[in-house]
C-alpha cells in the first residue's frame, strides 16, 4: 500500500475516502530508521521489532473502526539500575475514528458522555502508524524495573549526621552569582 507524506516517526496516513465498503487490512512493519526515531521519541534503549496487523472498516455515522494487534520487542532502562529491560509486547487495538465535527466536545456540564469518545479524523486521514506508535507507548510500563532491582532510597540521616548539606554547593553558586534573596 502506498502512503502519503510522512508526518510522524512511524507514519502511515490512510485517506478515509479510499476505504471500500468491505474495509481493508494492513500489515505495518516499522523500518530500522522508523524504529530508531521511535527509540529517541520514547527514550527506549532499543526497539528491535515493531509490527501491527490492522483491519479498518466503515462504521455507522461516517465513522471508521480500526482493530488489530501490535507486536513489538522493546528494550527500556531499569529505573533503579539503568540496566536494559527487554519486553515483548502483544497488544490489541480497538479504536473508533469520526470526523472532528461529529465528536461531542466536553462543555463542562455533568452529563453522561462516552468514556472513550472517537478519535478525530484529521484532514480526511487516519494515520495508522501514529496510532500504532501511541498504543505501543501507552502499553509499556512507564517505570520498568529489572526483577532483582531493589531501590534502597537515599540515606539523608547519614548526610546530616556527617555534617554534609546537599544544598551547600547550590547556596555557594547562588551567592557567587548574586541570586540569593538575602
Output the pLDDT for position 35.
97
Output the pLDDT for position 113.
53
Output the pLDDT for position 148.
80
Half-sphere exposure of 125 (CA within 13 A, CB side): 14
Output the pLDDT for position 4.
46
10-residue mean pLDDT profile of the chain (182 residues): values are 61 93 95 97 97 95 94 95 94 94 66 72 94 96 85 65 69 74 57
Which regions of 41-131 does DSSP assign to beta strands (E)? 46-59, 63-77, 84-99, 119-121, 125-127
pTM, entire model: 0.74
Would you kindly state where each structural domain of the chain is located, as residue ranges?
13-151
Amino acid at each position: 500500500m502506498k502512503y502519503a507524506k510522512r508526518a510522524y516517526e512511524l507514519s502511515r496516513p490512510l485517506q478515509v475516502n479510499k476505504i471500500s465498503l468491505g474495509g481493508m487490512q494492513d500489515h505495518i512493519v516499522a523500518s530500522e530508521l522508523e524504529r530508531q526515531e521511535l527509540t529517541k521519541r520514547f527514550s527506549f534503549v532499543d526497539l528491535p521489532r515493531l509490527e501491527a496487523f490492522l483491519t479498518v472498516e466503515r462504521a455507522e455515522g461516517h465513522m471508521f473502526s480500526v482493530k488489530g494487534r501490535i507486536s513489538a520487542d522493546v528494550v527500556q532502562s531499569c529505573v533503579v539500575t539503568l540496566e536494559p529491560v527487554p519486553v515483548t509486547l502483544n497488544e490489541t487495538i480497538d479504536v473508533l475514528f469520526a470526523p472532528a465535527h461529529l465528536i461531542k466536545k466536553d462543555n463542562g456540564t455533568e452529563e453522561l458522555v462516552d468514556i472513550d469518545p472517537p478519535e478525530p479524523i484529521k484532514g480526511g486521514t487516519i494515520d495508522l502508524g501514529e496510532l500504532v506508535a501511541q498504543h505501543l507507548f501507552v502499553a509499556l510500563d512507564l517505570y520498568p524495573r529489572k526483577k532483582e532491582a531493589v531501590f534502597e532510597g537515599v540515606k539523608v540521616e547519614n548526610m546530616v549526621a556527617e555534617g554534609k548539606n546537599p544544598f551547600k554547593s547550590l547556596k555557594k553558586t547562588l551567592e557567587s552569582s548574586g541570586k540569593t534573596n538575602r
